[in-house]
Amino acid sequence: MIITNTEEVTGKKIVKCLGVVSGSTVRAKHVGRDIMAGLKNIVGGELRGYTELLTEARDEAMERMQSQATQLGANAVVNVRFSTSSVAAGASEIYIYGTAVVIE
Amino acid sequence: MEYQPGLPEHNDNISHKHPLMEFALLLGGLSVVAFVVYLLLGLAVDLVAEHISPEQELQWFKRNSVDVIASSMLDHGGEAKRIDSALFQGLKQCLDVDYPLQLWLVKSEKVNALAVPGDDVFVYQGLVDAVQSENGLAFVLAHEIAHFQQRDHLKGIGRGLILASLMAVVGMGDAAALANPAAALSQAQYSQSRESSADAKALQALACHYGHVGGATELFDALLKQEGKFAEFGHYFATHPKTQARIEQIHTWAQSRGYGFKETNPLSTFDGI
Amino acid sequence: MIELGIFLTLFCLGFFVGSYAEKQHYKSIVEREQKFMHLVTTSSKRPVGDIGAVRKTHLVRGNAVISVDYFKRIIAGLRAIVGGNVSSYETLLDRSRREAILRLKESCPSASQIINLRIETSSVFKGAKDQTGSVEILAYGTAIYAEK
């Protein structure tokens, strides 16, 4: 499946528009990671645990969006946007949405 | 380009597991982990506590100005002094406790006695008034000495610390509503078993000092009269076993070891400061 | 003891009332989604197909603040300890998103198309101990009305 954040897939013609599809997930790291992150906050630097958390969460949300698009019969999702928010302490929510289309 | 609307048949954005199932799994798993961690750390604390010598203990828990709330039994003269120098020392000998312990009288109506880290045993005026005879008081004193011998006062502090740190991890946010009672329950169950063991030692000391165990249940009898029929369910969370059960246990022990209940020695009243 | 009692009451209340409310909400969402399915919606900046002359365009939006029940909050609290998918919050977000988009559509039922749809999420209420139980979703886009 082609996924882009542009209006259309370069070099291909969109034949059908199937509406907006989305994928979301909420994830938390275990308490040990939270504590380590808290300590890391003192010296700064990359919080690997959280980087990993958000990467995993995006992968999963992306899969869920693709699954929705497949169910509608799409073969591409254009104009994809990411949004991230924290819903609860230590948990992150990823939301991905775009327009499901059929390209030739 | 045409528009062909549709709705996904299956919602992948939500989990389709039953929430109660997830709750049971999470709660079960976490409880097992917390229980094992508490058990292991608890045993470690017990081990450390056994190896803290009385001298070390006194150094760490140096008491500061206890005099504000309590007065030494020795300073009272008369009956109080006799209790301290004869009875208290005698019971210590019976329990093989050879390090110095200080006996304090707290001017309070509460019926209570405490073994505090350092070298202090506190007896409340209310307790002295509640027991009828010297033997009754002796049982309580022996019970507190037994706590020192078993290092329960130190173990209690150590376990308290462990629970507090476990709670800091597990009890964050709303999960605290679950963690608090669980912590109280585990603390209570442990404490009850230590109390029971101290009772057994106190009974033994009583038999050693007087040759019989008359008056051993005096305090509990008095407490039972006070309690009435309250606290039937709440005792699972209490630090001490149920009073009725303690009395029965003492009778069972006395019977199996052949201790008799004979005439008790009278106790003339004495007051705090 | 009392604490435990309060907890159990809230827990059961949260579970039964919460699940019932959620079921009802989903039912209504599905119904209304069916109803508005034919209103063209896209996240693209350009309209779908050729719609000819445009009579009117204006900004439309819809928002919803939805809270999670006590039962799910407890599960999320436990989940935060071990890590992983916080599935009890997923329905919360799914519901609020779909609700916000539906409200956006309901605000312009006669539009030909809604283009450039964007969705924003924010946690609006931080409760005791920084625990968030509710989120606000804002959906916004441009409604265009064809000439004919």
CATH of the domain at A50: 3.30.110.70
Q: pLDDT at residue B234 above 60?
A: no
Tell me how far apart the alpha carbons of residues B252 and B256 are, in angstroms, rounded to a whole number: 6
Residue B80 in domain? yes
Residues of chain B found within 8 Å of residue C146, distances taken between Cβ atoms: none
Determine the residue among C73, C89, C135 to mutate to test chain A binding: the one whose Cβ has the most chain A Cβ atoms within 10 Å. Answer: C89
Residues of chain B found within 8 Å of residue C73, distances taken between Cβ atoms: 174
Sorting pLDDT into bands at 50, 70 and 90, what band is B96? confident
Q: How many CB pairs under 8 A join B and C?
A: 88
* Mean pLDDT across B182-192: 79
Q: pLDDT at residue B232 above 70?
A: no
* Mean pLDDT across B222-251: 72
* pLDDT value of position B30: 85
Measuring CA to CA, which residue among B61, B65, B37 is closest to residue B49? Answer: B61
**C2-146: what fold?**
Translation Initiation Factor IF3 (3.30.110)
Please give the mean pLDDT across all residues of chain A. Answer: 87
* Mean pLDDT across B17-38: 88
The more confident residue out of C35 and B177 is: C35
* pLDDT value of position C126: 59
Measure CB to CB from residue C79 to each of A8, A24, A28 and give the nearest one: A28
Specify the range with the lowest mean pLDDT, choosing from A63-77, B41-55, B115-129, B158-172.
B158-172
Specify the range with the lowest mean pLDDT, choosing from A51-60, B15-24, B167-176.
B167-176
Measuring CA to CA, which residue among C78, A53, C81, C84 is closest to residue B20? Answer: C78
Residues of chain A found within 8 Å of residue C76, distances taken between Cβ atoms: 28, 88, 91
ipTM exceeds 0.95, yes or no = no
Per the structure block, which two tokens stand in for A76? 């591409």
Nearest chain A Cα distance for residue B11, angstroms = 8
* pLDDT value of position B67: 63
Please give the mean pLDDT across all residues of chain B. Answer: 80
State whether A93 and C87 contact (CB < 8 Å): no
Residues of chain B found within 8 Å of residue A64, distances taken between Cβ atoms: 12-13
* Mean pLDDT across B119-140: 85
Measure CB to CB from residue A30 to each of C49, C82, C118 and give the nearest one: C82
Specify the range with the lowest mean pLDDT, choosing from A25-29, B64-68, B221-225, C1-5.
B64-68
The more confident residue out of B261 and A69 is: A69
CA distances from B146 to B140, B194, B249, C41 (A): 10, 10, 17, 79
* pLDDT value of position B273: 41
Q: Which residues contact B213 (CB under 8 A, 6 or more apart)?
A: B135, B203, B206, B207, B250, B254, B259, B260, B261
How many structural domains are present in chain A? Answer: 1
A7 close to C45: Cβ distance less than 8 angstroms: yes
Q: pLDDT at residue B230 above 60?
A: no
Nearest chain B Cα distance for residue A68, angstroms = 6
* Mean pLDDT across C80-104: 89
A67 touches chain B (CB under 8 A): yes
Measure CB to CB from residue A88 to each of C45, C117, C132 and give the nearest one: C132
Per the structure block, which two tokens stand in for B158? 């150590």
Q: pLDDT at residue B73 above 80?
A: no
* pLDDT value of position C131: 56
* pLDDT value of position C104: 95
Nearest chain C Cα distance for residue B5, angstroms = 6
B170 touches chain C (CB under 8 A): yes
Measure CB to CB from residue A18 to each of B6, B169, B173 and give the nearest one: B6
* Mean pLDDT across B41-69: 78
Per the structure block, which two tokens stand in for C23? 């079921």
* Mean pLDDT across B149-161: 84
C40 touches chain B (CB under 8 A): yes
Supply the Cα-derived Rg of chain C in whole angstroms: 19
* Mean pLDDT across B185-198: 83
% residues pLDDT > 90 (chain B): 1
* pLDDT value of position B172: 57
* Mean pLDDT across C64-68: 86
Residue B108 in domain? yes
Tell me how far apart the alpha carbons of residues A51 and B269 are, in angstroms, rounded to a whole number: 72
Q: pLDDT at residue B45 above 90?
A: no
Burial of B153 (0-12, 13-18, 19+ CB in 10 A): buried
Residues of chain C found within 8 Å of residue B24, distances taken between Cβ atoms: none
* Mean pLDDT across C23-49: 91
Residues of chain A found within 8 Å of residue B10, distances taken between Cβ atoms: 67, 71
* pLDDT value of position A70: 94
* pLDDT value of position B239: 73
B4: closest chain C residue by CA: C38
Residues of chain C found within 8 Å of residue B5, distances taken between Cβ atoms: 37-38, 40
Tell me how far apart the alpha carbons of residues B107 and B104 are, in angstroms, rounded to a whole number: 10
The domain in which residue A6 lies consists of 2-103
Q: State how beta strands B120-124 and B113-116 pair.
A: antiparallel
Helix axes B152-170, B134-150, angle to 10 degrees: 60
Highest mean pLDDT among B150-164, B195-209, B259-273: B195-209
**Domain residues of chain C, as ranges?**
2-146
Specify the range with the lowest mean pLDDT, choosing from A62-76, B37-51, B132-146, B255-269.
B255-269
B28 touches chain C (CB under 8 A): no
* pLDDT value of position B171: 60
Q: pLDDT at residue B141 above 60?
A: yes
Q: Which residues contact C22 (CB under 8 A, 6 or more apart)?
A: C69, C91, C95
Specify the range with the lowest mean pLDDT, choosing from B219-223, B234-238, C112-116.
B234-238
Residue B24 in domain? no
State whether B169 and A31 contact (CB < 8 Å): yes
The more confident residue out of A41 and B141 is: B141
* Mean pLDDT across A63-92: 88
State whether C86 and A79 contact (CB < 8 Å): no
The more confident residue out of B27 and B272 is: B27
Sorting pLDDT into bands at 50, 70 and 90, what band is A76? very high
* Mean pLDDT across A48-71: 91
Tell me how far apart the alpha carbons of residues B243 and B222 are, in angstroms, rounded to a whole number: 10
Sorting pLDDT into bands at 50, 70 and 90, what band is B57? confident
How many structural domains are present in chain B? Answer: 1
The more confident residue out of B178 and B4 is: B4
State whether B5 and A19 contact (CB < 8 Å): yes
